[in-house]
Structure 1
Amino acid sequence: MFATATRNFVEEVDYGGLLIPVSSLNETIDVLTVVVKRKRFWFWQKPKYLPTDFYFNDILAGDDPIKPDTKETDFITYNGTYGDNIQGTLDANFVNSSVSLEGKDSSKLQSSFGSLKKEEVNVQKLLKDSKGRVLDMSHCLIQQTKEKRRRIFGIVKERIVTTTPCSVIEEVQQGGRCGAGLSLCGPKIPKVSLKENGSLSQDSNVTMEIPINTTIAYSIIELEIKQDGCYELCLMSDTTGGFEIDGSTKNGPFGVSEGLGHASENSCLQQDLEQLNGHFQLLSSLPVTTRSSLLQQFTNVMQDRAAVSALQNMLDQMCLDKTPALGDVTITVSQKQNIQAILELVEQSGQVESAQTGQSTSVLTALHLIISALDEMTNDCLTLFGMCCSHTVLQTMEQLVQSMSGMGALPLSSAGLAALTGDVYEKAEHLFAFSNVSLKRDGDTVKTEINQEPGNLPLVLCIAVRGLASLAL
């Protein structure tokens, strides 16, 4: 709940920038706090940031601490409300019976952070004070971090802080009704009507009081660390830090995630998707009942940003051969059930041989690919995509994303674009726009054009659409 509120805040005020949302109230973050940046499994994923209990002076050699010169300025006054409403009904009539189902789900998250201030370090003075200083390479934090791949040290250079007590309020309403009727009629038998009605509702209203001087977002300066403890501050946003290994820095094999190399330009989109094609083929080869169940559960999870992140973390742990702890996740009971159903299907599916490579591939990895893409989407994109998860619309979306990596244009007469009319086209247009892609009609064709914006949102959209479309075959 707090993590969702801070993520919404950063997405609104600094999307694509340097601010990092704080994920837990239990994290104490001050200027010069040491933060470990961990690269993720897929190169297009945003890294994870793990604040430590140490300050920069704690890992410096020598007894002369660096005293940062800090400046405080007013930032903004922030109050945000996010919510959605989902409602559905199902009626079925048979010869002698009828069944009706009705469900309603609504949620609202209100973040009242109030007036915020920004505290930032004078980087020029920090650079001057760092001249001639070295790190204590025998420090346990450095030793433990250095042993793990894809880990980078950073120190907090600025933070966004609350100036008054504030709150985060989450309201959830879930309700359902089931009705059934059975009628027996005969020529000499009086009509008998049996009715059974049941209803279930669950409401929750949680208020989280945020104390004064709480950090809700921050940014860091990464460190490039030599074997002898000498270090350099990475002052440019496009430079990354790392540990020197055997005379060379980690910026080569360790500066990017394992697996695919970084590529976000239009010319490389097709190549990236081709390398992932085995995962999509694997999913499409699963039994129909398994695919149908997975698609339904994924669609349910997509209704809640916190549930998407929770499932991503669960599959992250499983990819690292760790046992995920679903009980520690703060999401609704129904979403926990959706996630548990997905985890059980993952365990049942195990390894499947890829038709493309002939090699045994994990269903876990394929589903981790999809949920990781969904977790990278913006809030607006995720909400809109959740409305496009019917079989026909997903097949249409898949045709459109394939055109992004090809000629960029498709005739509207194509069989796969039959559903691209009216409301569906409008949703697709907005969905693509949220992913930095323009979707336009031009006569009897529809064209896609990738906007030259930083980031990997076009690729993320392609992966999410193709992944779910593989389950909808």
Structure 2
Amino acid sequence: MFATATRNFVEEVDQGGLLIPVSSLNDTIALLTVVVKRKRFWLWQKPKYLPTDFDLNDILTGDTPIKPVVTETDFIKYNGTYGDNIQGTLDANLVLTVSLEGKDSSKLQSSFGSLKKEEVDVQKLLRDSKDRFLDMSHSLVQQTKEKHRQVFGIVKERIVTAQPCSVIEEVQQGGQCGGGLSFCGSKSPKISLKENGSLSKDSNVTMEIPIHTSIAYGLIELEIKHDGRYELCLMSDTTGGFEVDGPAWKGLLDVFGAPAYPFENSRLREELEQLSDHFQLLSALPVTTRSSLLQQITKVMEDRGAVSSLQNVLDQMCLDKPPALGDVTTTDSQKQNIQAILDLLEQSGQVESAQAGQSTPVLTALHLIISAMDEMTNDCLSVLGMCCSLTVLQALELLVQCVSGKGELPLSSAGLAALTEDVYQKTEHLFASSNVCLKRDRDTVKTEINHQPGNLPLFLCIAVRGLASLTHCV
């Protein structure tokens, strides 16, 4: 809830910039706090930031602390409301006629009010850091250096609340069942759905945020020599790391991911070709498993926080660690959806293999898809969640193939019949949110990648290709 609110804030005020949303109220973010930046599983994923309990002075040698000069300025006044409404009906003809209807709505209101920005005088910090050394025997330094996927950053600026404020989440869930259906099994009690049965659940959670709470921050990364000398990475395109000594080469171990330069069709096509085996693995799953996975993933996509939670769980499993649902911070309903996905993996033998210390191909493929979704903007993810029907996903797959191909496709192509006017408008918005222009020209649909920094076109293509793989007939 708090993490979603801060992520929304950063996406609105600094999309593609350098601000990092605070993910937990339990994180202590002060100026000069040491933050560990960790490389993720996929090269294009944004790094994960892990605030520590230490500041720069705690890991320096010598008895003279660095005392930064801090300036405080008014930032903005921010109030945001985000929400969606999801409705669906299902009519089934079994022994008896069954009619199911569901309706979900959610709203997240972030009333941060007036915000202030605190900044360190970087020029003075640069002078104070001259001829200073990190204590390379410090436990934090040792543990971070050993991982070879992590680097130090220190907080140079932060956005803080200037008054008590609140985050409010309202969720309404309801469902109705008409008709009658009963089930009786040899090992199960009898289950009956009576005519005109209904179920509803409402929740209203208010989180009061105290004054001086950090909601976002910016870092300066450190280039650290093997003897403890360090330099501040002053340019945004300069990344930090630990100096590595070895018989073959010497240099700094750069732990940053792929550069965020504009995509071209040829590069996008090359990236997708390298990932094609993952999509084929999902297509080869049993039809019931694919159908259930698509259903549960669609439910998870209703909540940005749930997508991030699922990504974190799969991330741990791909690193050969057991899934820890106890650490998931989302609603009970979404925890059940995430558990249902893990159960489906377990039925396919994926979870046992991960618990045995072996990441499986199907697990990696699913992790790929969810990771791409987690990198999407809130707007893009929300619209994609509305397009998760079988026919629409297959139409979207043709369009993303068009994006990475010739850029043109006849509207008469088999599979594009699902693009009714309403669906086309959603699709157009979906592509625009991913830096891709989609337009109709008489009997042809054309796609063009906008020359904007970032990997949004790739995220869209991976997510669509992955979801569509769950609809393929094999």
Output the TM-score relative to the length of structure 2: 0.91
2:428–2:437 Cα contact (<8 Å) kept: yes
Alignment correspondent of 1:461: 460
CA shift, 1:329, in A, is: 2.3
Secondary structure in 1 matching 2:302: coil
Alignment correspondent of 2:68: 68
Report how many residues are paired. Answer: 449
Alignment correspondent of 2:9: 9
Take 2:77 and 2:222, find their aligned partners in 1: how far apart are those partners?
32
- Of all paired residues, the percent bearing the same amino acid is 79
Q: Which amino acid aligns with 2:293?
A: L
Question: Structure 1 unaligned runs (5+)?
Answer: 183-193, 353-359
Would you say 1:250 and 2:248 are equivalent positions? no
Take 2:378 and 2:450, find their aligned partners in 1: how far apart are those partners?
19
Per-residue deviation, residues 425-458 of structure 1 (Å, max 9, x unmatched) = 1111110100011111123211111111111000
Secondary structure in 2 matching 1:67: coil
Alignment correspondent of 1:269: 268
Per-residue deviation, residues 347-379 of structure 1 (Å, max 9, x unmatched) = 222469xxxxxxx95211000000001111101
Alignment correspondent of 2:444: 445
Take 2:18 and 2:79, find their aligned partners in 1: how far apart are those partners?
21
Secondary structure in 2 matching 1:415: coil
Q: Which amino acid aligns with 2:385?
A: G
Structure 1 stretches of at least 4 aligned residues deviating more than 6 Å after TM superposition:
none
CA shift, 1:9, in A, is: 0.5
Secondary structure in 2 matching 1:407: coil
Alignment correspondent of 1:310: 309
Per-residue deviation, residues 205-239 of structure 1 (Å, max 9, x unmatched) = 11111011000000000001110111111111111
* Alpha carbons of structure 1 residues 446 and 67: separation in structure 2 relative to 1, 3 Å: same
Would you say 1:52 and 2:55 are equivalent positions? no
Per-residue deviation, residues 375-433 of structure 1 (Å, max 9, x unmatched) = 11101000100011111111111111111111111111211222223112111111010
Take 2:197 and 2:141, find their aligned partners in 1: how far apart are those partners?
59
* Alpha carbons of structure 1 residues 285 and 454: separation in structure 2 relative to 1, 3 Å: same
Alignment correspondent of 2:285: 286
1:350–1:363 Cα contact (<8 Å) kept: no
Take 1:411 and 1:177, find their aligned partners in 2: how far apart are those partners?
42
Point out the more displaced range, 384-393 or 420-429. Answer: 420-429
Per-residue deviation, residues 260-312 of structure 1 (Å, max 9, x unmatched) = x9875313111111110000001001111111111111111111111111111
Instruction: Please list, as runs of the form range in 1=range in 2, the aligned pairs for 1:54-453 lying within 5 A after superposition.
Output: 54-92=54-92, 97-181=96-180, 196-246=195-245, 247-251=250-254, 254-256=255-257, 265-266=263-264, 267-350=266-349, 362-453=361-452
Take 1:332 and 1:103, find their aligned partners in 2: how far apart are those partners?
18
* Alpha carbons of structure 1 residues 406 and 361: separation in structure 2 relative to 1, 3 Å: farther
Point out the more displaced range, 124-133 or 212-221. Answer: 124-133
Take 1:385 and 1:406, find their aligned partners in 2: how far apart are those partners?
21
Q: Which amino acid aligns with 2:103?
A: K
2:47–2:256 Cα contact (<8 Å) kept: no
Take 1:196 and 1:77, find their aligned partners in 2: how far apart are those partners?
51
2:260–2:453 Cα contact (<8 Å) kept: no
2:222–2:232 Cα contact (<8 Å) kept: yes
Take 2:180 and 2:416, find their aligned partners in 1: how far apart are those partners?
41
Cα RMSD over matched residues?
1.9
Point out the more displaced range, 440-449 or 297-306. Answer: 440-449
2:263–2:457 Cα contact (<8 Å) kept: no
CA shift, 1:44, in A, is: 1.2
Point out the more displaced range, 343-352 or 303-312. Answer: 343-352
CA shift, 1:92, in A, is: 4.1
Question: Structure 2 unaligned runs (5+)?
Answer: 182-192, 352-358
1:43–1:262 Cα contact (<8 Å) kept: no
Secondary structure in 1 matching 2:50: strand
Point out the more displaced range, 83-92 or 288-297. Answer: 83-92
Output the TM-score relative to the length of structure 1: 0.91
1:150–1:256 Cα contact (<8 Å) kept: no
Q: Which amino acid aligns with 1:42?
A: W
Would you say 1:39 and 2:39 are equivalent positions? yes
Q: Which amino acid aligns with 1:469?
A: A
Point out the more displaced range, 319-328 or 265-274. Answer: 319-328
Alignment correspondent of 1:356: none
Per-residue deviation, residues 237-265 of structure 1 (Å, max 9, x unmatched) = 111100011131102xx4448xxx98753
1:350–1:362 Cα contact (<8 Å) kept: no
CA shift, 1:138, in A, is: 0.8
Secondary structure in 1 matching 2:422: helix
CA shift, 1:155, in A, is: 0.3
1:36–1:153 Cα contact (<8 Å) kept: yes
1:370–1:464 Cα contact (<8 Å) kept: yes
CA shift, 1:328, in A, is: 3.4
Secondary structure in 2 matching 1:62: coil
Secondary structure in 2 matching 1:86: strand
* Alpha carbons of structure 1 residues 262 and 206: separation in structure 2 relative to 1, 3 Å: closer
Q: Which amino acid aligns with 1:217?
A: A
CA shift, 1:88, in A, is: 2.0
CA shift, 1:195, in A, is: 6.1
Per-residue deviation, residues 178-228 of structure 1 (Å, max 9, x unmatched) = 23259xxxxxxxxxxx96342222111111110110000000000011101
1:263–1:269 Cα contact (<8 Å) kept: no
CA shift, 1:87, in A, is: 1.8
Q: Which amino acid aligns with 1:298?
A: I
1:408–1:448 Cα contact (<8 Å) kept: yes
Q: Which amino acid aligns with 2:132?
A: R
